Structure 1
Amino acid sequence: MTPQDRSILSSYDFKRSAVRLGYSAMVIALIAVALSMLYPFGITVFSSLKSKQEIYVFPPTFWPRTFVWSNYKEGMQYIHLLRAFWNTALIFAGNAFFSLFVVGFASFGLSQLKVPFRRSVTFYFMSSLMIPSATYLIPNFLNLQSLGLLDSDWALWLPAGANAFYILLLRSFMDGINKELFAAARIDGASDLRCFFRIALPLSVPVLSTLLILSFSSTWNDWFWTSLVFATPNKYPIAALVYHNIIQSLNIPWNVKFSILTLVMIPPLVFFLVFQKNIVHGLNVSGVKG
């Protein structure tokens, strides 16, 4: 067995009964957690294929007796998914732009430039993570209202450039970039802006991809803030549209509601399954120094 194949527990460790017992307990706990997290997804998918009568049967059934695929066709009559998808994609594009450049410039400045009171600024960003988001919800709304940005995508794009968690995560990664690279570039006449675009940005692709994935997840799932800033229903992203037109509706049968929720649930699941390695890798490398 090579050192790379050697895990925390070897075959020799499993000869001990205490190790086997502890390992079995951890596996059982992991399976229980996985099942508890998969159960809501299973309920949503299988309930979307049930008939209206079977939804209200007691005791409830997990597996549908008959698969009613027409629920999905009926659900399309209550919601305009393509328009909501486009609105969500437009919001994500703006969030990605501001997250990439504004957060990137701030992280680069705190990491590689001689910014006055750099430690105090970093501590300020870190302390802001301890403040509940509900406390600055009304001030943000009033600021956007005074600027005349309500009912526009700018109400979502501008706050994306002030994400303290993204700044600290990217700064932590840039702290690990060898400073001699920037010193050599400055000797050759490169400006700080050129160092950012030619050195820091290309080397930060792993963590930047993680930030974009996290931004997509928050954009897709955000319904509360979008419901506040948007007054025009045609501008709603997918989460706000589902909340107002589906969740709050009393006229739509529950099996049809579950069919719409299943369709909305598929894109982020596929997105995460495809890019899960980027998420784990980006979070890992952001914590490695040197």
Structure 2
Amino acid sequence: MKSLDRGILSSYDYKKRGNWIPIGLVCVLVAVMALSMIYPILSALFNGFKANTEVNAFPPHLLPREWHLDNFGKGWSYIDLPLFLRNTLFIFGGNMLVTVAVLGMAAFSLSKLKVPYRKSIYFFFMITLFIPPSTYIIPNFLNLRDLGLLNTFAAFWLPAGASAFFLLLLKNFFDGIHGEMIEAARIDGASDWNCFARIAIPLSIPIFATLAIFVFSTAWNDWFWPSLVMHHDNKYPLATAIYKYVISAKMLDLNIRFAILSMVMLPPIAVFLLFQKFIMRGLHLGGVKG
């Protein structure tokens, strides 16, 4: 018999009249919160279909009176979106590879190998989570400058291997892998590398899928750090190019601007809707276990 997951409230709780008012208030609150988040997205999308005079009209209205589909064609030709999209995906691919290789091996070592002072190392990385990210922007920039990595994609890949949050998330997941599996592989002659590559990684697909969503979101939305380390237009990621050439543009019509923003806004929403189960499952599997 297939078991059903029980929520916070059962069907009996919904039938009790005394619970109707609080449940109704919660539903109204959730609906208001959902509308407050969906409205800016719909407003930007529909403004991309309006004429420029209609976007600036007062009072504003959500739906366009006349649909101008050519706004998206003009926005596509205004900047080289495929180039900036390619740069963003290139950054994402490198960051994900570094995350799997460097952070994966580091987390596996802290979880399954007898590393000296591994508890102290674990708490050291945990302490770094309390440091504001703005405090190490300048040291990272100076280190990359001294290494000659400015204006290269390595300026993104190298810092990706120093994410304490991803390290702790992977370490907590590896802690849930039974040690008997690793010991059995070692008895059969497997090295530590084979245990990591042939046992840990195949069992860690859910957590790596979750990290892929986070890495993709960071690569897609980050604009400040690329504006510091990249000095050539042809190497900008998408967010930096949008900020410099669309948001900061003074002579660009608002309807074209909204059309470009809509094209950039929809892909990450689609990615999240398609892979949201991996996020929830990965956070559950990688959570701290009691």
Aligned-partner Cα distance in 1 for 2:141–2:6:
54
The residue aligned with 1:110 is 110
Cα distance in 2, alignment partners of residues 185 and 134 from structure 1: 43
1:121 corresponds in structure 2 to 121
Mapped partners of 1:3, 1:143: distance in 2: 54
Do residues 61 (structure 1) and 57 (structure 2) align? no
1:76 is paired with a residue of what secondary structure? helix
Aligned partner of 1:192 in structure 2 is 192
> Is the CA contact 1:108–1:174 (under 8 Å) kept in the aligned structure 2?
yes
Corresponding residue for residue 260 of structure 1? 260
- TM-superposed CA distance for 1:289, in Å, is 4.7
Indicate the residue corresponding to 1:135 in structure 2: 135
Partner of 2:76: 76
Match in the other structure for 1:209 = 209
Q: Measure the CA separation in 2 of the matches of 1:44 and 1:11.
A: 39
Aligned equivalent of 1:179: 179
Q: How large is the RMSD of aligned CA atoms in angstroms?
A: 1.6
Query: Would you say the 8 A contact 1:84–1:238 is kept in 2?
Result: yes
Amino acid corresponding to residue 136 of structure 1 in structure 2: Y
Structure 1 residue 160, shift from structure 2 partner: 0.6
Q: In the alignment, what sits opposite 1:150?
A: 150
Using the TM superposition, name which of 66-75 and 17-26 deviates more: 17-26
How far apart are 1:6 and its partner, in Å? Answer: 4.4
Q: Structure 1 CA distance, aligned partners of 2:182 and 2:11?
A: 47
Q: 1:72 to 1:2 in 2, by over 3 A?
A: closer
The letter of the residue matching 1:234 is: N
Rounded Cα–Cα distance in structure 2 between residues aligned with 1:4 and 1:75: 48
Give secondary structure in 2 for the equivalent of 1:115: coil
The unaligned stretches of length 5 or more in structure 1 are none
- Give the AA of the match of 1:229: V
Aligned equivalents of 2:19, 2:158: Cα separation in 1: 52
Question: In terms of mean alpha carbon deviation, does 18-27 or 89-98 score higher?
Answer: 18-27
Distance 1:9 1:258 in 2: 42
Deviation at 1:17, TM superposition (A): 2.9
The aligned counterpart of 1:163 is 163
Shift of 1:127: 1.2
In structure 2, the partner of 1:86 is 86
CA gap 1:140/1:90 in 2 versus in 1, 3 angstroms? same
Deviation at 1:36, TM superposition (A): 0.8
- TM-score, structure 1 normalization: 0.96
CA deviation vs aligned residue, 1:107-143 (integer Å, no higher than 9, x gap): 1011111111111111111111111111111110011
Percent identity for Structure 1 against Structure 2: 49
Give the corresponding residue for 1:220. 220
State the distance in 1 between where 2:220 and 2:12 align. Answer: 47
1:152 and 1:223 mapped to 2: Cα distance?
15
Query: Using a 3 Å threshold, how does the CA distance of structure 1 residues 179 and 279 change in structure 2: closer, same or farther?
Result: same
Q: Structure 2 CA distance, aligned partners of 1:255 and 1:61? A: 14
Distance 2:239 2:2 in 1: 49
Partner Cα distance (1:224, 1:245) in 2: 14
Q: Does 1:40 align with 2:26?
A: no
Distance 2:5 2:75 in 1: 50
Give the Å deviation of 1:8: 3.1
The residue identity in structure 1 corresponding to 2:24 is S
TM-score, L = length of structure 2: 0.96
**Is contact 1:78–1:245 with CA below 8 Å preserved after alignment?**
no
Return the alpha-carbon distance in structure 1 between the equivalents of residues 5 and 105 of structure 2. Answer: 41
Structure 2, unpaired ranges of 5+: none
Shift of 1:76: 2.3
In the TM superposition, residue 7 of structure 1 has moved relative to its aligned partner by: 3.6
Residue 31 of structure 1 corresponds to 31
